[in-house]
Amino acid sequence: MAPITTLKQMAELVKGGTIKRVAVACGQDPDIIDALARAVNEKLAIAILIGDKAKTEALAKEHKIDPAIFTMIDQPDYKKAAAQAVAMVRAGEADVLMKGLIDTAVYARAYLDKENGLMTGATVSHVGVFETPNYPRLLVVTDAAQIPYPDFGQKVEMINHAVAVARKLQIETPKVAVLTATEKVNPKWPCSLEAAQLSKMCDRGQIKGCIVDGPLSMDAAVSPECAKGKGISSPVAGFADILVTPDIQAGNILYKCLTQMAGATVAAMVIGTSAPVILTSRTDTDDAKFYSIVLAALMAK
């Protein structure tokens, strides 16, 4: 099968499968309403909106959406709404968790709760899938929103999670670029040493199902011309499918640069939990939120 190269193709891949139930924490969000209505109308999702029912219904009508296409549960308290959404996923009453009009920290505390959340004991990381006008393939980026300063073991798991996403996108052997500011190993930069170690681990079969190279600068990772100009000979350089950033600051800046300046559309979620968790930025478009639902449905299959 040929790799999926657009988010629209990703949606086509999901269509016809089992319709996933999406539990939304604090569903009274105008962008979320539009994205969910599209997912429901395209028979990709069943939407369960937990939050202020009166506000949610009013928003739907304001957006010319029939509120009856949603299941609504009235819970005006945002913390209780988040807890109830998580509880529904834990109980098997929903397949996917989604963030609505709620602070990210409160939302994260609900799904990361050790007793009542969606933790499995594994590393939990954030993955964004970007469709960018001037890049010929989908680009998977990790981690822009979950792990502030990943240690070496967490970076291994971040790669494994991103590879799992890439494989769902029919990328048979994903090319993973571990990013730093330069493509040279510098003993004074721990992230460059870790990048080299991750690359060697892959060479020896300790990281499977992909090709890992690093350290690589951003330009060398995505531009064949830049890689050639820097004298880098690598199957990853210039053709990366996955970008692993050194920390959340770099990941978040890259995420926002791609969406706000490079015209990219993103689908974003948290992986490593017992069920897919959709986590997008408040500034992401309706399309981004819709395709995040699609990505979560794909990963829930």
For the stretch 237-284, pLDDT in tens is 999 999 999 999 999 999 999 999 999 999 999 999 999 999 988 888
Residues in CB range of 119: below 8 A, 6 or more apart = 111, 112, 113, 273, 274
Give a yes or no: residue 2 inside a domain: no
Question: 86 and 19, same structural domain?
Answer: yes
Q: What average pLDDT does this structure show over 40-45?
A: 96
Residues 6+ apart with CB under 8 A from 266: 128, 129, 130, 131, 255, 258, 259, 280, 284, 288, 291, 292
Question: For residue 225, what pLDDT is reported?
Answer: 96
Look at phi and psi of residue 56 and say left if phi exceeds 0, alpha if psi is from -120 to 50, else beta.
alpha
Please say if the pLDDT value at position 121 is more than 90: no
> 42 falls in which pLDDT band (50, 70, 90)?
very high
Asked if the model's pLDDT at residue 301 lies above 70, the reply is no
Looking at the structure of the chain, the number of domains it has is 2
Confidence of residue 56 (pLDDT cuts 50, 70, 90): very high
79 and 48 fall within a common domain: yes
Same domain, 199 and 279: no
For residue 181, count other CB atoms closer than 10 A to its CB: 14
C-alpha–C-alpha distance, residues 162 and 176, integer Å: 9
CATH number at residue 33: 3.40.50.10950
Give the per-residue pLDDT at 140.
98
Whether residue 161 lies inside any domain: the answer is yes
Asked whether residue 104 is assigned to any structural domain, the reply reads yes
Whether 1 has a pLDDT exceeding 90, the answer reads: no
What average pLDDT does the segment 200-210 reach? 97
* 266 found inside a domain: no
Residues 133 and 115 in one domain: no
Query: Could you say which DSSP state residue 51 is in?
Result: E
Shared domain check, 67 and 101? yes
210-237 mean pLDDT: 96
Kindly state whether residues 140 and 255 are assigned to the same domain. Answer: yes
Domain identity same for 168 and 224: yes
Whether 245 is in a domain gets the answer: yes
Quote the CA–CA distance of 176 and 221 in Å, as a whole number: 9
Give the pair of three-digit tokens for residue 63: 């957006």
What is the average pLDDT value for the chain, to the nearest integer?
95
Is the residue at 265 inside a domain? no
Residues spanned by the domain of 183: 125-260
CATH of the domain at 163: 3.40.718.10
Q: Which helix (H) or strand (E) holds 194?
A: helix 190-203
The whole-angstrom separation of Cα 111 and Cα 265 is 25
Are residues 133 and 39 part of one domain?
no
- Residue 122 confidence (pLDDT): 81
Is 80 within the bounds of a domain? yes
Residue 164 and residue 250 in one domain: yes
User: Do residues 152 and 219 both lie within one domain?
Assistant: yes
In a domain, 40, yes or no: yes
Kindly state the average pLDDT of the residues 65-84: 96
- Does one domain contain both 68 and 148? no
Do residues 68 and 56 touch, judged by C-beta distance below 8 A? Answer: no
113 with 216, same domain: the answer is no
